[in-house]
Amino acid sequence: MKKIRFDTMTWTGAGLLKSSLSRQLIEQHADIKEMGGQIIIKEAWQLTKGRTKLVCAVRLDDGSYFNFTRTIQLTTEAD
């Protein structure tokens, strides 16, 4: 397990990676999609076999936060 260090990336690189991880999280976990709030990725770890462990929060409409951990399978977009 290797931690993904967003703080060592460029601002745009970290933003693009977090955006991609958020999209794949929503695609793979319907319960997160149903919440409908803003997803904030706090930490990420690269696991084996193309999997990534995410520690996230969802900012709900009432201003509260729902914190959770999920594992996603990284997929690459076909050209």
Cβ count near 44 (within 10 Å): 20
The CA distance from 16 to 34, in Å, is 23
The β-bridge relationship of strands 51-59 and 2-3 is unpaired
Indicate whether 78 pLDDT > 50. no
Q: Could you state, in order of their start, the residue ranges of all structural domains in the chain? A: 2-73
Q: pLDDT tens digits, residue range 25-77?
A: 999 999 988 998 899 999 999 998 889 999 999 999 999 999 999 999 976 54
The model carries a pTM of: 0.83
Q: Which residues pair with 43 in a beta bridge?
A: 55
Side chain identity, residue 22: S
Q: Which residue has the tokens 């793979």?
A: 28
